[in-house]
Amino acid sequence: MNPVVGPVVGIVMGSDSDWPVMKAAAEALAEFDIAFEADVVSAHRMPDEMLTYGREAAGRGLKAIIAGAGGAAHLPGMLAAVTPLPVIGVPVPLKYLDGMDSLLSIVQMPAGVPVATVAIGNARNAGLLAVRILAAGDDALQQKMVEFQESLRTVAHDKGKVVRDQ
Ligand code: RP5
């Protein structure tokens, strides 16, 4: 019998309204058979739960956290302040400012408290970056990543064929 594997990546967000963006991270993890959990942990509206989540994440077996929020997006940075795990921030675009507010809130961290920030709305890259972090200690997973990268090259090559054939 295979041992039950708990989640190794935590996906958190400031609101369930972020899920349409954040679900792309979950889909990327699922493509690589990475066990994950997803939850709403608002930095501003649930500060105690947010701190508890960050403080307990490593002890619960998580290896990385993907945190997304819009507007004054303090969730990724606050989690990075209380966990030793790598934190990947996803700026979620809202109605105003096109996500620039969220991007700057997440990316402008002080030295000593890193958050790896992906492009505005690009939760898929957050999922893929988490896979790469896990793959650094997992040869089989790294091989899957190499194969995925090769598939990207093939797609790009085929797209280029349309141009070359003109
Ligand atoms: C942020 O406020 C959340 O991350 C979300 O992007 C935004 C709006 O939240 P809701 O008003 O939809 O709950 O904290």
The domain 9-135: what is its CATH number?
Answer: 3.40.50.1970
Cα–Cα distance measured from residue 89 to residue 80, given in angstroms and rounded to the nearest whole number:
10
Eight-class DSSP state of 127: H
Residue nearest ligand 1's atom 2 by CA: 70
Give residue-wise pLDDT tens across range 51-97.
999 999 999 999 999 999 999 999 999 999 999 999 999 999 999 99
Question: With a 6 A CB cut-off, is 15 part of the ligand 1 pocket?
Answer: yes
Whether 37 contacts 11, CB under 8 Å: yes
Whole-prediction pTM value?
A: 0.94
Residue nearest ligand 1's atom 10 by CA: 15
By C-alpha distance, which of 85, 78, 93, 9 is closest to 42? Answer: 78
What is the ipTM metric for this complex?
0.96
Residue nearest ligand 1's atom 7 by CA: 70
CA 25 to chain centre: 6
Question: With a 6 A CB cut-off, is 69 part of the ligand 1 pocket?
Answer: yes
Tokens of 79: 């989690």
For residue 154, pLDDT over 90 is answered with: no
Question: With a 6 A CB cut-off, is 92 part of the ligand 1 pocket?
Answer: yes
Give residue-wise pLDDT tens across range 92-150.
999 999 999 999 999 999 999 999 999 999 999 999 999 999 999 999 999 999 999 99
